[in-house]
Chain A
């Protein structure tokens, strides 16, 4: 209680804003109001809010992220999700029947397991009484899974939620053409041989041309890499800068892997194959080697190449989220609090990948923090060019004033606190699973490096973005 008092006191100048929040928040709370716990009194300042349950991450795991087409290539998405769930069960020893709800994020759906959360949960041995659903929001699907869980807990509907994400890019649904599908469906309905024959007689060879899942943004028909290249050019990010940043990501990831910092990785025994224990996309190279690559999207003069983009990845992640008092009652030592979060969206054509730029100042403002309060930044690295463009946008008053409707820039994150254990460029980016990796990386880094606040941010297809504040759980 003391903490709340001091907190409100500290924030007096902002009263009006907070008053508003006070009046709104309780409405969204259920009747089971609980007293805020007294655990965080030690910290310098905390983001706990009165009458809102504190939500904690007990722990999170992921199976190694592999380049698509490697060891996971014969599996199905729910197999990966199942492995992540089993890993989480093993890591946390949480009794299966305690889990109230399971949510998974995924992007490219396997049609057979469209609710992959449910299939994976059943296969992982969770109680068949535990409901599960799947969410999708492009690269921030797992973030959406987590924040959905936060909503369930904060509103008092659940106490324990498992959130995660999965993506298997080794296998994507390639469909028959619409004409072929139509004919097949009509054939299904045809009753007589004559009807069937007349349908079949309409068959043309071009019916057989397959339909690939769209790699392009639906609204603009532009592929993401192309957009990233244009974004890099718009912010005058050079090829060398991009290659340097990619090299940094790979080197840091390699270092973190070698030092055993990537503690969220759980080994996965692939049926019929070896046990996978490590991410396999980390390949620190040299600038000279990278300079040799041709541009992958805007040919022949673009700057985005295979080396400075995130690669197609298979992987899954899962984390255990609880109401703080529940975690404490069960005897857990949580890793972090999940605090304020925002979703933003903007022009899907020219600002497709600027989500972090828009989300960062918004979430900081919401939490009453500034860039300097953040000890660990974990941003999703879709492309080097995208990260560097975001840095420049965040550091530009002109951009803030003309495009974001803000008075001043928020400032770019200091590089020494930024993605210190590698990022999506090097560790890999299974679309649906990256969100949980980012949060766990922030939480683990805060524990290891001793900071209090972490900022997670990501961009997503559709011109959307997300940011969340992660607060270290006091030791």
Chain B
């Protein structure tokens, strides 16, 4: 503090007006140095502070690629050798992005492990040099600072970050199946303590600037600025630079110390960590937890623990070496291929909430790219106003989501078939309590909550629908009811208004049959629970117009969803893939497998939710409805389990979680769910003898999986799906297909189509036509070089 004041007076003593606006001076300098040939990095000198600006050309984000690295080394060498320069500031010229991470392409192009080790060691050497720099280096962070970006920042002597929502720090490597490879595993534990470092590296979670300050990850915060004489973002970066320059001067003059005052808790913590026994316990605890959550399906987190341990117990050099050695796992290459914009994946890591997938690990897909190239041809009309009909639980959350993410004006009207008043109040209460949760977590202020909430109108009539740009109905899955609603709404809404139906199985073309304007009718299939499931399946009929699709996609993107666009058909893509698997679930249960056993078999295979639990979550009545509809449409192929099981469950009121009983009993406040013993009699009455040669644990797992995969491939064959990539996205993000398998199509590529066909043939022999492999799958089996995902 004293120091900063002193700096203040110093700059005042030299008092020419020019000197008081450092921004301008260095602008001039950098303009001249920009004339040099460097493309990613240039620097200017402000007094005795070098301001290094990172700005990768033709990209929205900066990534640590080879060119940038070599330019960076060059620039730093100039700075270290210059007599005039006593300190440096690293800053990005791109608002919203410091460095989004290492260029994953650079890693993916490594052919051998030795090559990868070399890449890692280069990074380690560069950052070690930074860390040991005698001239203090200040990282001025505004926007995403992830992966390699964070590793760079923590190698600097001092970090200043902008305190806004865009500025996040994190190590998302684990989500891609890799680990921080440039010294991050060694530096992070020293900086924030072992437990916090594990938390960051194992969850890949993003840390907002204010939290980072508390953790000791950054040293100072800069508040984002409002409008001044320039756009706010531009001026905020300038301000950040000005502040960083002040601190750089202070550091080189030894007026500011890089040592941080630690709180009492932190001191105690670091004392505890100095006891080897405590450390061992922590490693053990973390490892146990990871094993439990990953079920051994994901290797990266265990390696991270190992590397951190090596670094702490055997010193930095050993740590660096072990970090550079373990770099790749078979799975990460699988994930990384075919993604054009690598950095985007990292950037998206921030946006996507991945709780639907196993808590720690998931992978990210740039579904926006797909939509961008395939759908968004006309500019979407601005959808600002939309009406909805909540009926099922899903809808509370659709409403919440829309209001929260879009700040769109929304009004909703419960359908007449329900108790209107209660439904209306329920939704409003539900949305409010969800918003309120965010307030409690300090993600929102109470004031923001109120102003967001004011965008919602609950009503019992159609007032205001004449101004709606989009109406999303979510009445019960009953075609005549949907028809009635469609007609009532169409009588009121303006011509441009899109009518979207939230249905999980009813064909959109049948719903649109009664429409005056079928080109404006589209399906939007949300997944429950909406705030956690990232997928939105948009269903188009042959009559749906391009701009209608564009509007639906635009709304979905605004809601923060991962989107796939599929063709209309019974069950579309997702429900259609799930239904045969569900049918097999019933069969397996009928064969006498305990629900708990089945659940553990499926979760061990990588499904986030056990199969029996999934039926309860979806709702037994919904499952029955869907099974009946699709059974009619597809006949034998959807056979397997007996529909009678679901019918009896519905008649006894075992509707799953929503009614408190299904395969399990659900009680408020009871964490461990118990098997519903009343199910025994139903299951007993429908028992079929298991076939011993296809009832091993592995067979049960593969019976479920292969039916799923076979149906997915059939969807591609029939043109319901446009690309295999969308099929993978839909399965992983909407249905919880094991993320470690990468989706049904990647699974076929990885596992080999022939092996899958063989399995299907084996089950076909035992059970019949529902296991008959589809033609496209057979084609792939016949030509092993053909892959779905290039």
Contact = CB atoms under 8 A, between A and B. Distances in A.
Interface stretch (B106-114, B220-228, B780-788): B220-228
Contacts of A236: 21, 23, 228-229, 235, 238
A219 B4 contact: no
A402 interface: yes
Given A219-B447, A301-B4, A230 B226 contact: yes
B652 to A, nearest CB: 45
B230 interface: yes
Contact of A351 (B8, B227, B246, B445): B227
Given A221-B445, A236-B21, A291-B12, A299 B1 contact: yes
B80 interface: no
A350 B227 contact: yes
Interface in A143-176: none
Interface string A387-415: 00100110010110011000000000000
A347 interface: yes
Interface in B224-277: 224-232, 235, 238-239, 243, 246-247
B228 A294 contact: no
B20 interface: yes
B5 interface: yes
A288 B238 CA distance: 27
Given A219-B447, A230-B223, A239-B8, A399 B229 contact: yes
Interface string B10-48: 001001000011010000000000000000000000000
A350 B225 contact: yes
Contacts of B445: 219-221
Nearest to A219: B447
Contacts of A351: 226-227
A392 B229 contact: yes
A243 to B, nearest CB: 9
A213 B416 CA distance: 48
Contact of A231 (B15, B23, B226): B226
A239 B20 CA distance: 9
A349 interface: yes
Interface centre among A226, A233, A349 (most CB of B within 10 A): A233
Interface size class of B (residues with CB under 8 A): 20 to 34
A207 interface: no
B280 interface: no
A194 to B, nearest CB: 31
B5 A234 contact: no
Interface in B265-295: none
A393 B20 CA distance: 20
A203 to B, nearest CB: 25
A300 B261 CA distance: 14
A240 interface: yes
Given A234-B232, A240-B12, A291-B9, A350 B226 contact: yes
Given A234-B235, A238-B20, A399 B227 contact: yes
A218 interface: yes
Interface string A223-267: 000100111011110111000000000000000000000000000
B246 A301 contact: yes
A187 interface: no
Contacts of A229: 223
A292 B2 CA distance: 9
Contacts of B12: 239-240, 287, 291
A154 B342 CA distance: 68
Given A239-B8, A291-B9, A294-B5, A301 B243 contact: yes
A293 B9 CA distance: 10
Interface string B458-498: 00000000000000000000000000000000000000000
B21 A234 contact: no
A230 B229 contact: no
Nearest to B235: A234
A393 B5 CA distance: 28
Contacts of A239: 8, 12
Which A-B residue pairs are the 9 nearest by beta carbons? A350-B226, A234-B228, A234-B225, A235-B228, A219-B447, A300-B4, A300-B1, A238-B20, A291-B9
Given A350-B232, A393-B229, A396-B229, 20 more contacts: A229-B223, A230-B225, A231-B226, A233-B235, A234-B226, A234-B239, A235-B228, A236-B229, A236-B235, A239-B8, A292-B5, A294-B1, A298-B223, A300-B1, A301-B220, A301-B243, A301-B247, A347-B226, A350-B226, A389-B228
20 contacts: A219-B447, A220-B445, A221-B445, A221-B447, A226-B223, A230-B226, A233-B223, A234-B235, A236-B228, A236-B229, A236-B238, A238-B21, A240-B20, A288-B9, A291-B9, A292-B5, A300-B4, A301-B220, A301-B246, A392-B228
